[in-house]
Structure 1
Amino acid sequence: MAVVSENSASRGKSAAELSQELRAAIMRGDFVSNQRLVEADIAHDFGASRGNVRAALAELSVEGLIERIPNRGARVRSVTVEEAIEIVEVRGAIESLCARKAAEKITPESAAELKGLGRDMEEAVQRGDVEAFTRGNEKLHARLIELADQQTAAVTIARLQGQAVRYQFRLSTMAGRPQVSLPEHLAVIEAVCAGDGDGAALAMQQHLMSVAEAIRKSASSGPATRSLQKITRR
C-alpha cells in the first residue's frame, strides 16, 4: 500500500487523484488479481475520504479494472487469457489508425524523436536491459498516439491497456520477446517517419497481432500460464 504523508492525509485526495493512483497501482501489480479493495483501508493508506474512495472505485469499475460485488465490496478484476487477446486485437485496429494518422502528420522534429526512441530500444536489447526496452516500448506507443491527435482513440486505448497490461508486462519479460518485438517497432517507426500511412498502419497491426499470438502461445505452454495470470510487483 502507498505511504501517505501527514500533509497529504490532512488535505485529502480528490476522487480524480485517488482513481489515478489506484489505476497506476493496479497496473504496476501492487494489487493481485481478485484482491479485495477495502474502502476503509484505501481511505487510510491513500489519504482520502470514504466518499472519494467510493467515487474512485466506481470510475475504475467502469474502466473494467475492478468489479463491484453486491454485499461484498470491490476487488481487482481478473482478466482471462481470452479476454486479454481480444483486448490486444481491438488495440490493433485502433492503434493502426493512430499510426496512420501519425504518419500523415509527421514533422522532421517528431521523426527525429521517434528515431531516437528506436535507437534507445535497440541499445536496450543489445544490453539485455528488459526494463529499459519496456519503457521505450511504452514511450513509443504513447508518442504515436499523441502525434495522431485522436482523443477518442487515446481514451479508448488507455482503458484497454489498463485491463491487459498485466499480461503484456509478463510477456515483455519472457526470454527472447524483446528481440522479436524490436524489429516490429522499428518497422512502425520507419513507416511513420516516411509518411507512409498504409505502411504504418500495417506494421502496427502486425506488431499487435504478434503480441496477441505470443500471449496465446504462452498461455498454452503449461507453467507459463500461471506466470502470465499472476500479477507480480516490479
Structure 2
Amino acid sequence: MAESKISENIEEYLEVLYRNGSNGEQVSTTQLSKELDIAPGSVTQMLKKLEKLGYIVYTPYKGATLTDAGMEIAQKITRKHRILEKFLHDVLKVKEENIHDQACEMEHTLSDEAERALCNMLQNPDLCPDENVIPSCNFDFDNCQQCYSLTDFDEIVYRQSNLLCISELTSPTEGKVSFIRGSSELLDDIADLGISVGSNIKCDYIKPYDDDGYNVIIDDNELTITQQMANNIFISI
C-alpha cells in the first residue's frame, strides 16, 4: 500500500531499482549498495522495509524486483528527474557536470502539475541529456495532443496501469499499445504504419535489429519501426 507521502530515501531506492530493472529484472544488493554508496547491511534492511510496504519482492542474497506499486512510484520520480535534467540542460544551460545533482535535489518537490507544464514547454521530450528514455506520464491520455487540449489540471485522471516504451523492453513482451507520445507529425507517421492505441503488439527482439529500428508484430503484421517510434510507443506491463 502506497504512503500518502513517500520519503526521499525510499524514492531514491526505487529509482535505482527502476534504472536497473524496469522490465522485471532482479537487481542485486551489491548493485544497489554500489550505486547508492550505502553499506550492504543497510541496503538489506531497507529492502526488507520496502517489501513490507509492498513496493518490491525481495529474495535474500539475490536481490529485489519492483511490484506494480513500486514501479508506479519509481517511474514517476525517474520521469521527473529526467525532465528536470532536460530543462536544466536545454533551457537554463546549467553546466553538464552539475545537472544530475541539481535534478536530484529538485525531483522530490516537483508537483505533478509543474511536471506536466515542463513537459508541454519542452514539447514532450523522449530522451534526457544522457539519452536515457523519459518514462511516460501517468495521466490517462491516449496521446500528447489530448493532454494539450485539457487546460484544467484538476480535471486530469490518472492511469491505472504502468507503461514501458518498446525501447525499454529487455525481454520478449506482448501487450496492447496504451499511449503514444510525441508531436502530431510523429503520431501521423506511427498511424500510417497501422499502429494505434489498442493495437496488439508483440516484441520478440530484445535489441534493435540494426541501428535504424526495431522489429515488432502489430495485429499479426510484422513491421519495422524507428528508434524514435520505439521511444514513444508505450505498452501496459
If the TM-score is normalised by the length of the shorter chain, which range does it land in? Answer: 0.3 to 0.5
Structure showing the higher strand proportion among its residues? 2
Mark the structure with the bigger radius of gyration. Answer: 1
Q: TM-score, normalised by structure 1?
A: 0.37
Of Structure 1 and Structure 2, the greater helix share is in 1
Q: What TM-score comes out, normalization by structure 2 length?
A: 0.36
